[in-house]
Structure 1
Amino acid sequence: MGNSHRYRRAAIGITVAAVAVATAAPALAAQPEGQIRAAGGADAVSDSYIVVLKNAGFAAQAQNLASKFGANVGRTFGAALNGFSIHASETEAKRLAADPAVDYVVQNRRFHISDTQQNPPSWGLDRVDQHDLPLDSKYTYATKADNVTAYVIDTGVKATHKTFGGRVSGGKDFIDNDDDPTDEQGHGTHVAGTIGGTEYGLAKGVKIVPVRVLDANGSGTTEQVVAGIDWVAANAKGASVANMSLGGGADDALDSAVKGAIAKGVTFGVAAGNESQDASKVSPARVKEAITVAASDKTDKQASFSNFGATVDIYAPGVGITSSWGIGGDDATNTISGTSMATPHVVGAAALYLSAHPDATPAQVAEALTGSATSGKITNPSSGTPNKLLYVGS
């Protein structure tokens, strides 16, 4: 009996010691977490993120990097942006953001075309080839810019519309992930018509390449828009311009992609936005390397809806602009308003400049357009907004 008690006491002692050792052992360290930029918000796409890497070449290892944290890779980017998209939980995304190879992680979100409204017939071409009012019912141009390519990053383009005369070709659809970027909304065809349509375009001979990143409702995600920009950066050759008549909340990944494409030599015109606020609050309007365009009306007033501020580079006609339309027959038109309509005037002007100066850099194109703009004509510019109205005359 005595020995039995001693054995039990010994066993109890061993058990207590084991518990003491287990209690004293340090707990497993929690995995470090980083921050997700622009997390949440009404336009956020749940469990979807853009990962931007610090060093080039790592995108090829995207799956290995993402799988460490349980995330799944969607698209990879390597031309305009160095990174990839993922489907992951918020925790997985935060842990990935803390990885030494990662620069930052951005919440995927939706972007939209600018709001539009019905208005009187177009007058924009007539305005930009003269310094002063009244309009003279003429549009004079020295070149058709047939040696320039215009990438329309939008809802797609109706290639069969007669205003293009067969000059729409190629392109990519990042909504349906195929090679048929046909316009299902109308907006992209309107934009393309102002850039290079026979009737309503500034650069009447430009080659048009549609890049569909917005759906039939006029919206697309950061992932889809960045994929379109990345494709342009990888495929653009020679004198090239790009139009982005879309916008949304401030987005670092989108901005970085635009900057990357501009660094590849593509001149970008971007809409200032239609929220009647400072354009520095929205993307891609806040990208300094792009040409950010505010809207003016037929009386040279700043449009009531137009964004403004020091981020803006130039004004262009954006109220009551008639152009080709992507829904309906091959001769369909629509008259609408927005900085979406102002921007293609500037992109068309950029194509005209590049036609005569095909080796000009995006910075040189921007300097040429802002330098030749008519100064002091906008009668009610918001404080801090450069008072420069697009001019393409000689």
Structure 2
Amino acid sequence: MSSAPAPPDHTPVSADKVIPYSFMVNYKEPIPTGFQAEFLAKIKTMCSQHSTAPTGEKLPGVTVEFNEIFKGFGGQFHPDVVAEMRKEERVEVIQDGLLEIFNFGPYVDQDTTSWALAEISKDLTMPFDPKPPQKFKYHRSSLAGEGITIWILDGGCNNVVNELDASRVAQEPWDSGAVIVHNTTDELVDLFSKGKVHGTNVAATAAGLTLGAAPKAKVRAIRLADPVGMLPTALHVSGALEYIVTEEKDPHLCVINCSWGVLSSKGFTRASIKRSIDAVVSKGFTFVAAAGNGEKKMVGGVEKMVGIEIQATTKNEISDSTNPKILFPASQNNVITVGALNKDHKPAEWSNFGTPVDIWAPGTEIPSVGSFSAGVTQGTSFAAPLVSGVIACILAEKARDEPGHKMTTQEVKTQLLDWGVKFSGNPTLLHNGRPLL
């Protein structure tokens, strides 16, 4: 017999911790002409002379250079190099830290038929039926996200499963802090074998051929971290975003999906991630994030911790004196935050909730692909890519109907809420704008 899906795993696996020798360096504005190149060259020279840590391990020095989301660089540095950097008043030296991963969940096998796509495209003239039929149809636009790129920041993606054809889906050669060298696509996929199950399912929910909300959109997958055993750092997140900005020619034809969250209680990691996301959104990218599976009420983007709600005027304005843990990226005002609904149009019992959640999408009994037979999974991880897919469809339609118009995140959010289905006493459910029949 098939078993019911277990609640998504939401147990944090580690508190954010300082990473020895790992730092990000930001140039303070205004940057004098020639200073950036001169200072970087000086530091690289010092790194070549101080390549072994006091504890014996090798230190690579500069591993990432930032020119798009901010001006600076990051890497692993000897204490003498760090001391020299801190003497320079025109730079800010930020200690890197592990981020507490929040959202990767388990997977179970269960005989099922997909319902989520039908739900977000249903005929709104029909009354709500708590017992939907066993066969569904997804009513979508003919463009289906064509011409739009959905970036999946996750644990990697397998583009050889039936839902994700290699002509539309690419695993990017970027891994946890740096571009990696690879000879073939197969070799690249092998390198990401541990963490790709979650990312593959996220990609299929966003843009799978039969399971995705935008089956004609292009997918570019970045391995931010391995959800099985490795935690991302602030440097990983910023480096991944720098890579995306460098690669994309038109940010307004892109969606960035983050089906994960990191809890940061440290000011240095909080500030660096916020700065990076702000910079990316300001360039025109639309950012979508899962609200998380913590059964928490989010007030101002902050968890309800130890029975105390941290009040805030916006998602990300909080009192540093309280030093709460903040869920990123979902806590940011300029990110579209997604909660998970069940089949009764109620928030799933494990989904985070509260005013920071912008919109809700089906998040239970979502068909799984990749390493699983016909089965399902659940979590805000899979509600978020449904929203990313619908946004890809919105952007594709806008590009066709109004060439040259560049939609902002706020315009996209307004469109989602205008199309969303409002049920009495329940949150706004994602809808793809199918006309009333």
Asked if Structure 1 and Structure 2 have the same fold, meaning a TM-score greater than 0.5 normalized by the shorter chain, the answer is: yes
350-359 or 94-103: bigger deviation: 94-103
198-207 or 158-167: bigger deviation: 158-167
Q: Given the alignment, which residue of 81, 84, 99 partners 1:110? A: 99
Q: Given the alignment, which residue of 37, 43, 53 partners 2:16? A: 43
SS of 1:353's equivalent in the other structure is helix
Residue 167 of structure 1, CA deviation = 1.1
| Residue in structure 2 matched with residue 128 of structure 1 by the alignment | 120
SS of 1:224's equivalent in the other structure is helix
1:237-277 per-residue CA deviation (whole Å, 9 max, x = no partner) reads 33111111111113222222222122222211111122222
1:266-308 per-residue CA deviation (whole Å, 9 max, x = no partner) reads 2111111222222432111112111111111111121222222
Q: Structure 2: any 5+ residue segments left out of the alignment?
A: 1-13, 51-58, 265-269, 303-325, 400-405
Q: Given the alignment, which residue of 319, 327, 336 partners 2:377? A: 336
CA contact 1:314–1:388 (8 Å) conserved in 2: yes
Distance 1:282 1:59 in 2: 33
Q: 1:248 to 1:378 in 2, by over 3 A?
A: farther
Distance 1:90 1:370 in 2: 51
Correspondence 1:291 to 2:302: no
Distance 2:424 2:365 in 1: 19
SS of 2:219's equivalent in the other structure is strand
SS of 1:295's equivalent in the other structure is strand
Question: May I ask how many residue pairs the two structures share in their alignment?
Answer: 343
Residue 108 of structure 1, CA deviation = 2.3
Q: 1:63 to 1:324 in 2, by over 3 A?
A: farther
Q: Given the alignment, which residue of 398, 403, 421 partners 1:357? A: 398
SS of 1:293's equivalent in the other structure is strand
Q: Percent identity?
A: 25
The one-letter code sitting in structure 1 at the alignment partner of 2:258 is M
Residue 95 of structure 1, CA deviation = 8.3
The one-letter code sitting in structure 2 at the alignment partner of 1:236 is E
Instruction: Indicate the RMSD between aligned Cα atoms, in angstroms.
Output: 3.0
Distance 1:155 1:207 in 2: 18
Give the structure-1-normalised TM-score.
Answer: 0.77
Q: 1:160 to 1:338 in 2, by over 3 A?
A: same
Correspondence 1:390 to 2:437: no
Residue 388 of structure 1, CA deviation = 1.8
Q: 1:216 to 1:343 in 2, by over 3 A?
A: closer
Residue 100 of structure 1, CA deviation = 2.9
Residue 93 of structure 1, CA deviation = 5.9
CA contact 2:85–2:93 (8 Å) conserved in 1: no
CA contact 1:148–1:206 (8 Å) conserved in 2: yes
Q: 1:235 to 1:221 in 2, by over 3 A?
A: same
CA contact 1:114–1:274 (8 Å) conserved in 2: no
Distance 1:59 1:109 in 2: 27
Residue 236 of structure 1, CA deviation = 1.4
Q: 1:88 to 1:289 in 2, by over 3 A?
A: same
Correspondence 1:83 to 2:72: yes
| Residue in structure 2 matched with residue 252 of structure 1 by the alignment | 271
Correspondence 1:171 to 2:169: no
Q: 1:199 to 1:76 in 2, by over 3 A?
A: same
| Residue in structure 2 matched with residue 317 of structure 1 by the alignment | 362
The one-letter code sitting in structure 1 at the alignment partner of 2:139 is T
CA contact 1:125–1:139 (8 Å) conserved in 2: yes
Distance 1:378 1:152 in 2: 33
Distance 1:94 1:378 in 2: 57
| Residue in structure 2 matched with residue 264 of structure 1 by the alignment | 283
Q: Structure 1: any 5+ residue segments left out of the alignment?
A: 1-40, 380-386
SS of 1:357's equivalent in the other structure is helix
1:345-394 per-residue CA deviation (whole Å, 9 max, x = no partner) reads 11001000001013322332122112321224564xxxxxxx32111133
Correspondence 1:145 to 2:148: no
Correspondence 1:276 to 2:276: no
Distance 2:348 2:80 in 1: 44
The one-letter code sitting in structure 1 at the alignment partner of 2:241 is I
The one-letter code sitting in structure 2 at the alignment partner of 1:162 is N
The one-letter code sitting in structure 2 at the alignment partner of 1:228 is A
Correspondence 1:374 to 2:421: yes
Residue 161 of structure 1, CA deviation = 1.6
CA contact 1:191–1:344 (8 Å) conserved in 2: yes
